[in-house]
Every structure is written in C-alpha cells, then in structure tokens.
Amino acid sequence: MSECAAPIRVRHIRSIVSIVENVSAGGGPMCGLAGVARCGGGSLGGEADDLLRRMTGMVAHRGPDGEAFHRSGPVGLGFVRLSLVDPVGGGQPLSTEDGSLVLIANGEIYNHRELAAGLPRGARLRTGSDCEVLLHLYQRDGLAFLDNVRGMFSLVLWDRDRNRLVFARDRFGIKPLFYHRNSERIVFSSEIKALFEDSACPRRIDWAGALSDQLMTGAMVFDDSPPRTWYEEIELAPAGSIVTFDLNNGETRTHRYWDFPEFDGSSTGSETDLIRSYGETLASSVAECGMADVEIGLFLSGGIDSAAVGALSDVKPRTFTALNGSTLVNSDAEYGHRIAGWLGLDNDQVLFDTSAVPGVEEWKQFLWLLETPLAGPEAFYKYELYRYVGAHAPEIKAMLLGGGADEFNGGYSVSFAGGGEWPDFVANMNRMGIRGDQHRKPDLGAWWDQSDLPLVRASALRTAAAGDSRDPYEMLHRWKYRDVQQYNCWHEDRTAAGNGIEARVPFLDHRLVEIVAAIPEHLRPSLVWDKQILRRAMVGVLPEEAIARPKVPFFYGEGVQHTYRTFTRMLAQHGDRLLDEALSGPGAREHLDADNIRATLRRLEQDPTAGHVEFLLRVVNLGLMEQLTESIPATPLAQAAKASVPSSVLVTDWDAQQEKIAATVLRRPPVDFEAVAELDDSVMLLHSPDDATSWYVVINGTVEFVIDETEAPEWLGMLRALDGVRSLDQVLESLGHARESVEPLIADAFELGILTHPSTVL
C-alpha cells in the first residue's frame, strides 16, 4: 500500500488485507477500537472481515473523521478516528517499517515529544502523531514501555514476531477497552456493544454482581474491588496495566506498570513546598491537556475545579455551563457565568428547563450508549452539553473538565464530617472502615455490635477482614480510585465520544495524586480538608470569591427536587412504559420486586424528595439493558435519530436578568385552581406561642421551612385555610387573594410534596 497524505478512510476491508507497512499517518485521536484475534495458531480467514466491519460500525460514533481496517495473520483490527493531533496525517493503524508491530490507540500521549527525544539514534518517526512513539518505546523497552508515558489512552498492539497481542490502558482508566475470550479467539473493542456482533459472545447481565455493587447500593463502605463491566464474561482491561495474550498457547499475563500510591505521608517537604509543587504540576497538566490542533472547550460548573482549569489554560477555551432547576437554585450556573467573566472567557448557559423530560426512546438510546446502570441525571446532562457543543460549536473537538479533583484532594471531607471539622471527618472515616470490615468478617465484627466502646482494636478487625492493615484514610482514596474508573471516567468517555468529542481531565494526572498521597499526617488538616491544597495553590490565580466558594453538588441539596421531578416524570410517562419494558425480561422478573418498584415511583410522583430517584433508575436501567442486549437496536448510534438539541440563554448581566432567567428555567405544570388541595399527610404546620410571627412547615417530623407571617401573610393564610374540601379558587376567594399572589408558591409546594390533591374514596 503506498503512502498517502490524507487520513485513511477505507470502506472495503479486502482492499487492505495485507500488513500496513508504509502508511505515513500516525495516531493520537479520540477513537473507536475494535478487533478479533485467533488463538492456537493459524490465521484469520476472510470471514473475519465482515465481523470487523460490523464491530467497527458499532463504535463509529467515536470517530466521525475516518475509518480503517487491518487484517494479517491471526489479528484483525478496526479503527474509527476523531482527529485532534495531526488531522492530515494522523490515521491508524500505525506500524513499524518492517511491519513486525501494529498499533491502534485511543487517546493522547501528552509527553510524546519528550519521549521521542529520548529514543535511540536512528529511530525514525514517520508521522506527526503523538502515539507513534509507543511503537519505538515497545521495541526498546518491552513491557516497560509505558513507565514514563503521561496521557490518557487504551491501546492494542500486535507483536508479530512473538505472536503476542498486547492490551494497555492509562493509569486511571480514562479510555476504555473491553474484551471477551474463549479457547478459539479474543474479541475486543472500546465499547461492549461491538463485542455482541460476535455470535459467540455471551449477552447476559451480571445481575448478582450488579445488584451487590457498592455504587449501585450506595452502601457507605470502602470498596476497592476491580471495576465491573455489568455483563457476564465481558472483561475490562485493568487501568495502569498491560495485558498480554500469547496467541500460540492462549497464555494470559497482566503486568502493572503503575500502582495507586500508598497514602503514607512520606513527603519531607514543607507546607509551602507541597502547595507550590501541586500548583506547578496542575499547571503542567492543564497545559498538556490543551495539546491539540483543533479548538478546545471547557465545561465550567461554577466550582473551583473547573475554574482552576480555565484560569491555568493557555488556550482561552469557550466555556459551557448547565442551566437547570438545580444549578439555578444552588447558584452553580450563576458562578459559571461570573467565573467566565472574571477569566475573560465566553460562556454559554445551556438550558434544561424543568418542563423538559427525556423521552422513552431517547433514554434507551442514551443507555445503549453508556452501557451502565449508573446512567443518571449527571451523565444525561453532560451528554446534552456535548450535544449542544456539537451543534453550536462544531469546531470544538476536545473538552477540558474539572473532574477528579474531589476524589483525591479532599473534596468529600466536609460532607463526610457531617457538619463537623477534621477530627469528625477522621472519626467518620474510621467508622466506615470498621463497617466494611464487619461485612467481611462478621464473627469478629460482632464486638462492634455489643457496645459503643468495643473492647477489640479496629486494627485487629482490619487485618483479619482484609488481610492487611491499610488505614481508612488510604482506603478512602482507593475507594475513590475505583469510583473514578467505574463511574466518572466511564460516563465522561461515553457522553463525549457519543458526540464525536474527546474529554480531557487534567486532575487525573498521577503526579498530582502522588503529591497528595505523600502529604504528612500532621499537614492533612491544613491541606486536604476542603481541598485546601488546591484552593491555596490558586491564590493569585483566581479571585478570592471563586477560591472560597464551598463545594456544591451538581444537583443534590437545595434545588434537588427539580432534577428528581424531571426523571420521575420520565419513568412515569406513557403509563410507566420504561418500567414495563425494564421488568419484562427473565433476569428482571427473577431479581426485581415489580410491585415495590411501581410503588416507589408513585411515591416519588407525589413527592420528588421522598426518596432517591437514582436508586430506582439504576434497577430500571439494568432491566432495560437486559432488553437492549437481547434485542440489539438495528440502527447504529452514529446513524440513529436524535432528540432536539438544547438551546442556551444569553446572559450578559446575571443580577439584572435574574428574574427572567428563573422564569425561563423553572417551568412548572400549570396550577389547577379549580381542584381541591390539602396539606400532605406527612406535613404539619406548627406555631410557637413564644414567637408570634414564625410558623414552621414540618415534613416527616423535621422542620423544613420557616414562614414569617409579616413577610408572607397571603401564603401563610392560604396554607392555614386549606381544608381538603374547597377548591384553591374558593379558598383564595374567601381570603380575598388573587391567583397571581400565590401561584408560584403553590406550584413549588406541589413540586415539594407539601400540597397534594385528596384521594377520592369510592
């Protein structure tokens, strides 16, 4: 095959069956990988070409800029490409001049120039690709070839001379690589759905494993088990590892080239040294993540993490902020706008008004893209942000994110402290450790059930349960390392790739995690508490208001009812159609309680804060995944029809536009004033004789709201007058109030489950 100056775009596999020896293009894009390898000796036949074509078609959404195939000997590779580095000469597969090594890779090698400079004299890089250097490193260093590589990647390398297939992933599992193997062959891809194109690949949900997973149950115990694929007999190449397959005898070996650090406080540096080192390393990581030959954007949440990335970036990215009911109430959207202004960056406020509900087919398509029951509101809004970018800023092919900062910098320390300080965080962390050890060793753990003053040391239980004595502080971070792989990186990759965009995560740089791991115990309260090492590193880089702003969850806390209401309506639409489909499969019928699932949905409809809609959504997702896997959608995601793209709200002055913004976002169902309403059974309206003006709204025994009679007399009068007999209009008429004076408050009260319509008794 002759050299070409343009990216490879091949439609017919048979035209490139021979080894790709002289392709001038390299790699380094966000891509989709697929392939098959024969075990036991012998070559793949032409029948593998159709499988390769179908597998590659299933991940075509990951690479809209080109596709290519390679089959030689026992290995067949498929590749789709999104061009970020060397768009003209950046296609794959990559190979050495003699064809003995062939590589496909998904991701970016940030320090490729530094690595290339250290190659032996005579090593010739034939492309401008950042991934080509990996071939030469492997030739020189063997399985040590990734030791000094920085980046995010998954790769497949065929070593012809050793007849060895090599899989590898970056240290945090930012880029995915799944596979299934039997005695005859291995099939592999960036996404699970492509594996199902092989008729020999099982299509079974791992119900028992999924339902017991800590991220599904929300159990407050440390879990550092390997991430799941959610499917039986589907494996995920481990992060920070190289997996090799001997295609002669089928032998498989795993080599870890990076281990998650022990949080042993080994640093001898001063507090100032650690802050300076952290800030310099973060700046370096942001600069490396800005490497591209295309435009780059930034998702700006309003918190310090994404603000820091925006402030340190040299590319002045266009920024995008989610504007929905929750981010309006918790001020994330407002601070996204303000931070962008402080940094001189353009900001799009992407609108998700409270009347917008994902459709049935829309949710199923989204779930088919994500392939995880953990698909929920956060991931959906992220996906919609990417869709907005694709439609309104198509020149942007990579997106900077602030993700990963909370997990390893103390972002959860304040919430884990339960309103207390560092000692409370440590105490609660220790309790979590004991709780997990009790689960693993219940006989010895019974000592902690007898008294709040257990007579046995926690270290004895820890050693007996886990086989080691790692302390809870380290286990917390190992738990979050698992979360990053199982949840954060998984959905960030899919939501971006589903829109032909690459997600880049500067905080997931192993150098940053190693700095935090080495913080001595006596400095943790001043550096790890509430992410102080990041906040203090940003002094002089960000305004003080941005540095000091407390962590705000994306949609939890104040305003959560708006997000919960949206997804409750989604599940209930068309007569609970999503529930009906989810509960129809054999696995769902065996494992799920259909009556309780429907009752939970009814409860959430009455009061969106009566539970966590995510837990309901997770089991529904599992059932839907079972259905989607048994009857794979006929139309590939790259060709599937999409819902309408979100719009945005032009904000030039938040303070001046605040009321208009709120009216645009908070679109509630109209209030039926002719209907009868009453306080919900869970609600009481109480008044203290010692305070003549204050009234308390108590929900399930907890004071949730205080109403000042002097400030809201009409609203208080309305609540006191509701009797469950008269209509809202009749109550208003008796009080002499107009609808307009209380309509927004009535709508809020129905949203929050404070008011309800009385049931009709037959």
Catalytic residues: 31
Backbone angles phi, psi at 354, to 5 degrees: -70, -10
Other CB atoms within 10 Å distance of the CB of residue 378: 20
CA gap 477, 524 in Å, rounded: 14
* Sign of the torsion formed by the C-alpha atoms of 616, 617, 620 and 626: negative
Q: Are 408 and 531 in contact (CB under 8 A)?
A: no
130-134: Cβ within 8 A, 24+ apart: 130/26, 130/27, 130/28, 130/85, 130/86, 130/291, 131/26, 131/27, 131/28, 131/92, 131/94, 131/103, 131/105, 131/107, 131/155, 132/26, 132/27, 132/28, 132/94, 133/109, 134/103, 134/105, 134/109
CA gap 724, 367 in Å, rounded: 42
| Nearest alpha carbon to residue 323 among 755, 649, 727 | 649
CA gap 582, 592 in Å, rounded: 10
Q: Are 347 and 341 in contact (CB under 8 A)?
A: yes
CA gap 721, 688 in Å, rounded: 18
Helix, strand, coil content of the chain in percent (nearest 5)? 45, 15, 40
CA gap 641, 646 in Å, rounded: 15
Other CB atoms within 10 Å distance of the CB of residue 513: 23
CA gap 621, 616 in Å, rounded: 9
Pairing of strands 185-189, 502-504: unpaired
CA gap 671, 238 in Å, rounded: 53
* Sign of the torsion formed by the C-alpha atoms of 219, 223, 225 and 226: positive
| Nearest alpha carbon to residue 374 among 481, 475, 492 | 492
Strands (E), 459-541: 502-504
Backbone angles phi, psi at 262, to 5 degrees: -80, 130
Q: Are 140 and 34 in contact (CB under 8 A)?
A: no
Across 38-77, b (16+ Cβ under 10 Å) vs e yields bbeeeebeeebbebbbbbbbbbbbbbbbbbbbbbbbbbbb
| Phi-psi category of residue 456: left, alpha or beta, with phi > 0 → left and psi -120 to 50 → alpha | beta
The DSSP H or E segment spanning 673 is none
